[in-house]
Amino acid sequence: MCGIVGYVGPQQALPILMNGLKRLEYRGYDSAGIALLSNSGLMVAKTAGKINVLEQKLSGTEIKSTQGIAHTRWATHGEPSQLNAHPHTDAEGEIALVHNGIIENFRTLREFLIQNGFTIRTETDTEILVHLIRFYYNGHLTEAVRIALNQVEGTYGIAVISAKHPNLIVAARMGSPLVIGHGEKEKLVASDVSALLEHTNRVVYLEDGEIATITPDYYDITTIQNVKISHRIHEVNMTLEEIEKGGFDHFMLKEIYEQPTTLRNAIRGRLNQEEGISRLNGLNLQYDELRNIKRIVITACGTSWHAGLIGEYMIEELARIPVEVEYASELRYRSPIFDEDTILFAISQSGETADTLAAMREAKKHGVTVLGLVNVVGSTIARETDGGVYIHAGPEIGVASTKAFTSQVMVLTLLTVLLGRMRQISVPAGQEFLEGIQKIPDKVERILKNCDQIKKIASAYYKKNNFLYLGRGINFPVALEGALKLKEISYIHAEGYPAAEMKHGPIALIDENMPVVVIALKDAVYDKVMSNISEIKARNGKIIAIANEGDTEIAERVNHVIYIPKTSRLLSPLLSIIPLQLLAYYIAVMRGCHVDQPRNLAKSVTVE
């Protein structure tokens, strides 16, 4: 995720900004840059890759500057490269800007700027913003920023400096955090307190829709409608380590709790409620091409493969297109039947998984259109596909995937409604599905509030050596993913099964020592799942049920119930997985396991 640091004060800005960027490294990034203001004007240095590459580039440069802004970029629009890295400047090289977030209407703004004689040099949404500020600049930097931001739709945290305004940083926020640090006759601005905590623990948090005018001695905050605001200074009493994890004990827990936000990011700007359809322009496919798809093959590994299975249930049901989901490691070595009406979807958080990449390349050799569903922008899979959709989950640091999984599933719901509307579902049906999608983030938020009950259940079972997870229909892949989460981080043997398959094997394992997690939602197969529950109970298995709010009947038949809000059946995996992530997390913590970096596992498997 992108990071911002800015400094204005009496000290040399370069080392302060570089240290600040290093403090933000944990967020993940793919390029970095800095702009320093001195008597000779603005100096900008940018590089693709890590901060030490930027440091090497700057070594030996003698710049006396006490003011600057710096950025680590995690690409969203345009590949990670020196050109696309921030800061971006206007054509005259007078204004420099760093930006976190996504400008959704940047295409319209770009057209507007081109018509007004501006030349656009990069593929980024950010460059548009600096030109827009230049366009409205009339001797007052804060005002130019204010007018420009009034044209912007989307999210931003920005810091701007100008050669015409020494000792001034203008910062603004909408959806992307920004904090101002108060030192002794100096000010810092950052996307995250960890970048400024070495200098001060006195901070002011900017709120959405606010602009700050910052000089070494004072700051002034107004809304983008120019209403004056006063903010209380907070004293931060956390260690740096605690702050990087946002106050959570582990990155995995932080990422679990980020899901309401990451799910909102996955759908932002992609819903056309009026027509009951989604917009996924990155697929690079016209409506008639989408209509002509005869078969879809989804390939992936690990958690991403589970997301693919959920996609299969959704797409087949709503779009009536046959879907096959295959482990990439299998697909690459057999002789799959590919024809020109087949589309291959490669799903990958990292975009670098060796097997997924190889399977995808194999399909390409057969002339198949290959699309990607990827988190890391500019990754190899993203680059080599014919088109695709970024899931915008931000950097996932915990090895066990959580927020990337739900964002993958979320994007698959968008794909489903798009394909469905091309083929058989009506506008009202599409609208209803989209309404359900929009309510998911709030419902996830509600489930996350229930962590104490889940922790209590974890404490009753954390010493067990085996777990069984059961689900039916679209919640069968959720059972697989729940079991995978537990085995990855707690080293407990766990298996996921379709509930009805239990009697073909796993039932032999059930006794009073076997906890069985059953996803038992009020849908068409509810009664069948209840029969499975009776079979487990008859053998003294311990049952933890995931059930819908209001289902009081189930509470009498199982040992524990974790309630989740109701949603449509096809969207239910986005909710039912949340308690399973938390259950795995708490059990692993209670067993003293290294949750973020489990033994033997890698975040990105770039070897076979």
Q: Where along the sequence are the contacts to ligand G6P (CB under 6 A)?
A: 301-304, 348-350, 353, 356, 399-401, 601, 603-605
**Using CA atoms, how far apart are residues 452 and 225, in angstroms rounded to an integer?**
42
**Using CA atoms, how far apart are residues 483 and 480, in angstroms rounded to an integer?**
5
451 is annotated as an active-site residue: no
CB of 74 to ligand G6P, least distance (A): 15
User: Parallel, antiparallel, or unpaired: how do β-strands 156-162 and 169-174 relate?
Assistant: antiparallel
CB of 333 to ligand G6P, least distance (A): 17
CB of 355 to ligand G6P, least distance (A): 8
Count of beta carbons in the 10 Å neighbourhood of residue 64: 11
CB 306 within 8 A of CB 480: yes
Dihedral, CA atoms, 466, 475, 303, 437, nearest 10 degrees? -140
76 vs 348, beta carbon nearer ligand G6P: 348
400 vs 554, beta carbon nearer ligand G6P: 400
Which among 2, 301, 451, 593 is annotated as catalytic?
2
CB of 374 to ligand G6P, least distance (A): 8
Chain centre distance of CA 256: 11
**Using CA atoms, how far apart are residues 533 and 556, in angstroms rounded to an integer?**
11
Chain centre distance of CA 337: 34
CB 54 within 8 A of CB 32: yes
CB of 266 to ligand G6P, least distance (A): 15
DSSP 154: B
308 vs 420, beta carbon nearer ligand G6P: 308
Q: Which amino acid appears at position 237 of this protein?
A: N
CB of 308 to ligand G6P, least distance (A): 10
**Using CA atoms, how far apart are residues 532 and 574, in angstroms rounded to an integer?**
23
Q: Nearest-CA neighbor of 574 among 292, 326, 307?
A: 307
Q: Nearest-CB residue to ligand G6P?
A: 302
CB of 600 to ligand G6P, least distance (A): 10
The packing angle between helices 106-115 and 126-136, to 10°, is 50
141 vs 391, beta carbon nearer ligand G6P: 391
**Using CA atoms, how far apart are residues 246 and 395, in angstroms rounded to an integer?**
14
128 vs 346, beta carbon nearer ligand G6P: 346
89 vs 348, beta carbon nearer ligand G6P: 348
* Residue 334 burial by Cβ neighbours in a 10 Å radius (0-12, 13-18, 19+): exposed
Which among 455, 522, 528, 603 is annotated as catalytic?
603
The most distant pair of C-alpha atoms in the chain lies apart, rounded to whole Å, by 82
Q: Is the dihedral of CA 189, 192, 193, 197 positive or negative?
A: negative
76 vs 100, beta carbon nearer ligand G6P: 76
- List, by residue number, the catalytic residues: 2, 603
